[in-house]
Structure 1
Amino acid sequence: MKSGNSARHGGHREVRLCQDRSMTAPSTDPASSRARPGTIITVAVTGAHAKADVPALPVGSEEVAAAAASCARVGASVIDLEPRHDTSVPDVVAAVHNRTDLVVRVAAYARSETLTTLLDSGAEVLTCPVDAPEDFVAALREGARARGIAVHHEVRELGQLDTLRVRCAAETGPVHAVLVFGSAVDSGMHGDPETLSRAVARLPEGASYTVTGLDDTAVPMLLATLATNGHVRVGMADTLEYSPGEPVRDNAQLVARAAGVAKIAQRLPLSVSHVRGVFGLSG
């Protein structure tokens, strides 16, 4: 089953592994002299799937909050939420904050909520699609600045990275991109290491990035991202299969796998407090 997100929307260059502070900071003990690059693990718990089609999907505020708490226990530090017609974003954000200290990031493309509602939802970060209309982008950034909210950038096509570079040229705070990859039949970025390398090479200088692979690209992109010192997003919003023919049991199952692989790669999951520093958030 395809993710509900997948419907929206040069030459080879050597990728220089990012060595800025967001990638080289300690994952657990700041005093450790042997600290290795850490990994931000984000979980996208719901997306646009219908509850009737996926009974195990957490949808209501308390279901999402319970899923968030389970994911936090096994390594997640950020939760991605998407506006849905059957839930209220502010209610879901409040429920997650009541149960966890996860950084809450909300996708800022309207389905059932206005931009003002999303800005006032209680989220600490909003994600803006790079291909959004310029007037929407300007209003989002102005509203986010006024409220002290960080803005991240969602990229689904390689060509959008040129727009991102121009848009972020004058930014003084941390720049973070969420790179979404799909299968060969998708019109966006193909989920393979070569395309990931091309995308990373075109990011604004010093930008950090989170990568997710939709559907059957989830595991390949997890492995490729850890190899490039990027951060990872997993969750039932992006894939409903744990392995071919095996449905995902819950979001925590996907987070636990990502955390385990990150540990094997010696890229330990970052704590929430550390992630706040990477994203330039207060608190």
Structure 2
Amino acid sequence: MTASSAETGGSPAQAGTIITVAATGAHAKADVPTLPVGSEEVAAAAAACERVGASVVDLEPRHDTAVPDVVSAVRGRTDLLVRVAAYARSETLATLLDSGAQVLTCPVDAPEEFVSDLRAGASERGLAVHYEVRELDDLPKLRQLCAGDSLPVHVVLVFGAGMPGDIGTLSAAVEGLPAGAEFTATGLGAAALPVMLGVLAAGGHLRVGMADTLEYSSGVPVRDNAQLVARASGLAKIAQRMPLSVSHVRGLFGLIE
């Protein structure tokens, strides 16, 4: 039984949906003026997304902001769980581990030593580790990594680049996950909406946000992150997989208050 079905006591169709917002990503502010970048901008965007159904915010290291400052601002204005992507951009791994985030996302294709250090550092600090997969070929390594994990396994699947956002690839990715793992998925660009619909049918969780797509529909720019979260929340409700509260998600992630 998956964690979400265990929580609701029902079938996957009745289970709830974790909605994550990836608010800023790596886009340049000069290229996307409406993108929230600074600490207070991201915190304001996160608060707006929390009001329409988000329970998790995904943050990436950027060259023009400090991750701990952004995490502090978001946690100061919201109750959202903060998940930081452990990408080697402008911050050291130690900085990311001590940023104040409750969860770190480990790219499965990262060097073995980096993955080992991340997992050890997170364990020492009581943080959850999730795993990011962008290629079907990374799934065997993922299963090996998670073989001895005691905490719930959660995987972030990213479609639209290495993995096409079609139903066949989505099905293959879900089939290749470790037994009992929960997953969140997102589609980049034009893959955003097809992946969202497929993931709801597959019993997964949703990530949306301006880090992943800058168009609401073909040729129509996204107004803001809350617009994308509101759509995801609405579709989850239509699918009878209601958006989950932060307290429920905290339990699913194995986090202690």
Give the TM-score normalised by the residue count of structure 1: 0.88
Q: What is aligned with 2:193?
A: 219
Q: What is aligned with 2:254?
A: 280
AA in 1 matched with 2:29: K
TM-fit CA distance, 1:22: 2.4
TM-fit CA distance, 1:24: 4.3
Instruction: Verify the 8 A CA contact 1:39 1:267 in the aligned structure 2.
Output: yes
Instruction: Verify the 8 A CA contact 1:23 1:229 in the aligned structure 2.
Output: no
AA in 1 matched with 2:217: S
Structure 2 counterpart SS, 1:179: strand
Correspondence 1:111 to 2:93: no
Normalized per residue, which structure has more helix? 2
Structure 1 counterpart SS, 2:190: helix
Provide, for residues 181-229 of structure 1, a one-character-per-residue CA deviation record: whole Å limited to 9, x for no partner: 00xxx4x111011111111011000000000000000000000000011
Tell me the distance in 2 between the aligned counterparts of 1:276 and 1:259: 18
Provide, for residues 74-107 of structure 1, a one-character-per-residue CA deviation record: whole Å limited to 9, x for no partner: 0000000000000000000000000001000000
Give the TM-score normalised by the residue count of structure 2: 0.97
TM-fit CA distance, 1:133: 0.3
Share of identical aligned residues, percent?
72
Instruction: Verify the 8 A CA contact 2:157 2:185 in the aligned structure 1.
Output: yes
TM-fit CA distance, 1:36: 2.2
Aligned length: 255
Tell me the distance in 1 between the aligned counterparts of 2:34 and 2:130: 29
Tell me the distance in 2 between the aligned counterparts of 1:210 and 1:259: 14
Instruction: Verify the 8 A CA contact 1:66 1:99 in the aligned structure 2.
Output: yes
Q: What is aligned with 1:252?
A: 226
Q: What is aligned with 1:176?
A: 154
Correspondence 1:21 to 2:7: no
Provide, for residues 154-203 of structure 1, a one-character-per-residue CA deviation record: whole Å limited to 9, x for no partner: 00000101000011111111000000000xxx4x1110111111110110
Provide, for residues 43-79 of structure 1, a one-character-per-residue CA deviation record: whole Å limited to 9, x for no partner: 0000000000000000000000000000000000000
AA in 2 matched with 1:64: V
Tell me the distance in 2 between the aligned counterparts of 1:205 and 1:44: 26
Tell me the distance in 2 between the aligned counterparts of 1:260 and 1:94: 29
Unaligned segments of structure 1, at least 5 residues: 1-18
Unaligned segments of structure 2, at least 5 residues: none
Q: What is aligned with 2:79?
A: 101
| Aligned partner of 1:236 among 206, 210, 213 | 210
Correspondence 1:142 to 2:120: yes
Q: What is aligned with 2:137?
A: 159
Structure 2 counterpart SS, 1:162: helix
Structure 1 counterpart SS, 2:186: strand
